[in-house]
């Protein structure tokens, strides 16, 4: 997915003050602790997301409905997919489980184009 990666890097490098995202090329990190999700799409996510499960658990497969895929991710494995276009959820599990979900909001495109209306402000140039 080199094209998607390049697009995210370009956007992430455009943070105010030259800041760098700690989850580059993504700008957002969600930490889930001991939960199973319902089927959903992340309609505000841009392009791709990364899911990284951690912990001492059994079960908790990641399901991608339209693709008819079930991934038995172990602690430290990761999956990258188009979360806005894919209905996904995770199954029940036993044990202790956390997951890191890295993504970028589609709304960041408006930041890149016009700094959310602040493009002419000297502090954002």
Model confidence pLDDT, tens digit, residues 55-85: 999 988 999 999 999 999 999 999 999 999 9
Give CA–CA dist 83/66, Å, rounded: 12
Give the pLDDT score at 125: 58
The pTM score is 0.81
More confident residue, 93 or 125: 93
Is the CB of residue 51 less than 8 Å from the CB of residue 62? yes
Does residue 42 register a pLDDT over 90?
yes
Tens digit of pLDDT for each residue in 17-32? 777 888 988 989 999 9
Residue 124 has a pLDDT of 63
């Amino acid at each position: 997915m080199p094209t998607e990666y390049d697009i995210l890097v370009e956007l992430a490098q455009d943070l105010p003050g030259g800041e760098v995202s700690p989850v580059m090329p993504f700008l957002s990190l969600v930490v889930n602790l001991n939960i199973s999700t319902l089927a959903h799409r992340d309609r505000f996510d841009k392009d791709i997301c990364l899911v990284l499960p951690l912990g001492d658990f059994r079960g908790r497969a990641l399901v991608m409905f339209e693709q008819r895929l079930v991934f038995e991710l172990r602690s430290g494995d990761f999956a990258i997919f188009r979360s806005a276009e894919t209905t996904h959820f995770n199954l029940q599990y036993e044990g202790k489980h956390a997951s890191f979900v890295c993504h970028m909001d589609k709304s960041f495109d408006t930041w890149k184009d016009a700094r959310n209306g602040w493009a002419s402000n000297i502090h954002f140039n």
